[in-house]
Amino acid sequence: MSGGIGTIIPLILMFVLFYFLLIRPQQKRQKAVQKMQSDLKKGDKIVTIGGLHGFIDSIDDNKAVIKCGDGSRLTFDRNAIREVTADASEGSVNLTK
């Protein structure tokens, strides 16, 4: 009887280890990205997953129009935004050129 329990305990310990080292941190990162993408607003300075830097010109539920360096506007999926580098409330954002 104790031989069966002795083989199950290492499997349980491995699952717990994987959960705390791999699964839980990934879930936290995913929640942070979802929160960042839901908090996007006009004027935020952003970087897309493709490396495009620009400002959000307009945004709706699924798409964001991004104003780039020379004033051109590109439409991206909201999920394609990787990070916000400057908030619109920081004051130094100038959307007119």
Domain of 56, CATH number, reads 2.30.30
- Pairing assessment for the beta strands 73-77 and 45-48 based on DSSP bridges: unpaired
Q: How confident is the model at residue 93 (pLDDT cuts 50, 70, 90)?
A: very low
**Which of 76, 15, 9 has the alpha carbon at shortest distance from 48?**
76
Model pLDDT, residue 3:
67
Q: What is the extent of the structural domain holding 17? A: 1-39
Name which residue leads in pLDDT, 60 or 69.
60
In this structure, what token pair is assigned to residue 87?
Answer: 């908030």
Q: Are residues 48 and 72 in the same domain?
A: yes
Q: Are residues 8 and 20 in the same domain?
A: yes
AA letter at 90? E
Q: Are residues 62 and 27 in the same domain?
A: no
Please determine, for residue 97, whether its predicted confidence score (pLDDT) is greater than 80.
no
What average pLDDT does range 49-78 have in this prediction? Answer: 93
Domain membership flag for residue 97: no
Model pLDDT, residue 70:
86
Domain membership flag for residue 80: yes
Residues contacting residue 47 through CB under 8 Å, at least 6 positions apart: 53, 81, 82, 83, 85
Domain membership flag for residue 12: yes
Q: Are residues 46 and 78 in the same domain?
A: yes
Name which residue leads in pLDDT, 60 or 6.
60
* Number of independent structural domains in the chain: 2
| Dist. CA 47–CA 54, nearest whole Å | 7
